[in-house]
Amino acid sequence: MNAYEVNFDGLVGPTHNYSGLSFGNVASTNNVSAASNPKLAAKQGLQKMKALHDLGFKQGVLAPQERPDVESLRRLGFAGSDAEVIARAVKEAPAMLAAATSASSMWTANAATVSPSADTADGRVHFTPANLNNKFHRSIEHPTTGRVLRAMFADEARFAVHEALPAQMHFGDEGAANHTRFCAGYGQPGVEFFVFGAAAFDMRYPKPAKFPARQTLEASQAVARLHGLAEAGVVYAQQDPDTIDAGVFHNDVISVGNGEVLFHHQQAFLNQADVLDEIARKLAARGGRFTAIEVPRAEVTVEEAVKSYLFNSQLLSKPGGKMLIVVPEECRNSERVWSYLQKLIASGGPIDEVRAFDLKQSMQNGGGPACLRLRVALTEAELAAVNPRVLMSDALFATLNDWVERHYRDRLAPEDLADPQLLAECRGALDELTRILGLGSVYPFQLA
């Protein structure tokens, strides 16, 4: 049976703004307080989804979240009507209101970790929503994420959606941004690669000195256990702490994998040669031939990689065995990075095509093409069991573009977060969206 990788891209929410909430994410903190354009952000994301769909890749949509999250604010002691909660929060704790209004769920690489049925003990596709415990504005996402995933992957005979890991520092889990999978074919058993920043219980592992390590070894191990993964099909690696301190807050800012290929920087992992050898050995035992494409720091520095988001790219398998790399426009704007990419695609290796997309609205908050998508490998039968209304088509693209045009603002400044009308606009948009995507009642205001 054929199997495919389906990319489910996050639809940017109506409250997309630049509040600089993500310490350790250089782009996020550098653009704090700038005015955003939610309408343009959503349309840029949709254009990428449609372009890849038109190229023949399987593409889906993952819905945004209700924001501002007034229930989270109520749990923090802000009482009254929705408007009164927002008014009190902006007066007494504006940073908390900004956090509760973040549209960060657009980066669905952090939505969950996904293991295909070929790898799991029970033969189902497993999802574990990420607890995103390191940042308050992201830690409030997983309850809705779980409901949305269950609405998309409802067949419990084929799909298992777990609860998030315990929400505290020892099990900090950032989802697929620190996870990839190598395989000879999407429907064949593969090797799942978990990258962590630090160990919570074992002090022998080094830690970054400047920025937090958001993913723990213990969280990665827990997800592997939940998904029923065999030890022979798992590799754990520690991200180089110095790269975290240089702004590489997730592994997908310094490496990306697909099929039998890992595209990575020279300074991506501790004990890098040993890590690559373990992947190669375990993949060979499962019928694959591993290829590591290492970018030397002499050609692209870590700082250039962070600025351009070279590695926050998508590697997509084309018919015939070659791969397309999808990068943000910022890569074209960097002379050294673009020069490297031209040399890469002319090298005769597995990556022979590059496409750049304008994702500036997302990039200014620290998220590129890879941040915007959640990869799910599915057999034909599993794909047929997915809620069909979340899968990209010409009709869905036109419908969602019209939906964005009617519901989204084209400018959102920090002071606009205090406007109670923004919540009403968001709820109205999401109520319609759940009907478009056939999700049922997944948002708190719909469940009240």
CA nearest to 43, candidates 358, 364, 381 = 358
Task: State yes or no: 28 annotated in a binding site.
Answer: yes
276 annotated ligand-binding residue: no
Q: Is 263 annotated as a binding residue?
A: no
For residue 57, what are its two tokens? Answer: 């890749």
The set of residues, in sequence order, having a beta carbon less than 8 Å from that of 310 and lying 6+ positions away, is 295, 300, 304, 327, 331, 337, 340, 341
Q: Which residues pair with 249 in a beta bridge?
A: none
Is 20 annotated to bind ligand? Answer: yes
Tell me, yes or no, if 371 is annotated catalytic: yes
- Catalytic: which of 183, 331, 371, 426? 371
Q: Could you tell me the sign of the dihedral formed by the alpha carbons of 344, 350, 355, 359, in that order?
A: negative
Tell whether 347 is in a known binding site.
no
Q: Within a 13 Å sphere around the CA of 2, how many CA atoms are in the beta-carbon half?
A: 7
Please answer whether residues 122 and 234 qualify as being in contact, where contact means their C-beta atoms are separated by less than 8 angstroms: no
Measured between alpha carbons, how far is 358 from 40 in angstroms, rounded to an integer? Answer: 11
Is 26 annotated to bind a ligand? Reply is yes
For the chain, the residue count is 448
Ligand-binding annotation for 378, yes or no, is no
Q: Is 258 annotated as a binding residue?
A: no
- Among residues 5, 141, 174, 260, which one is catalytic? 174
409 is in an annotated binding site: no
- Tell me how far CA of residue 374 lies from CA of 62, 312, 393, in angstroms: 9, 13, 18
User: Residue 250 catalytic?
Assistant: yes
Tell me if 442 is assigned to a ligand binding site: no
Q: 339 a known binding residue?
A: no
Instruction: Please state, in angstroms and as integers, the Cα–Cα distance from residue 65 to each residue in 132, 379, 432, following that order.
Output: 15, 28, 13
Q: Is 355 annotated as a binding residue?
A: no
Q: How many CB atoms lie within 10 A of CB 130?
A: 29
Could you tell me which of 50, 39, 35 has the C-alpha nearest to residue 365? 35
- Residue 19 labeled ligand binder: yes
Is 333 annotated as contributing to ligand binding? no
Amino acid at 433: L
> Was 21 annotated as part of a binding site?
yes
Which tokens in the block code for residue 155?
């067949």
Indicate which residue of 250, 264, 265, 407 is catalytic: 250
CA–CA separation, 448 and 444 (whole Å): 6
170 is in an annotated binding site: no
Residue type, 262: L
Long-range contacts: 142-145, Cβ < 8 Å, 24+? Answer: 144/65, 144/66, 144/105, 144/442, 144/443, 144/444, 145/65, 145/105, 145/111, 145/112
Residue 300, CB-side half-sphere exposure with 13 Å CA sphere: 29
Retrieve residue 395's tokens. Answer: 């009709």
**Strand partners of residue 373:** 9
Q: What residues act catalytically?
A: 174, 250, 371
**Annotated binding-site positions:** 19-28, 110, 137-138, 214, 252, 365
**Annotated binding-site positions for substrate:** 19-28, 110, 137-138, 214, 252, 365
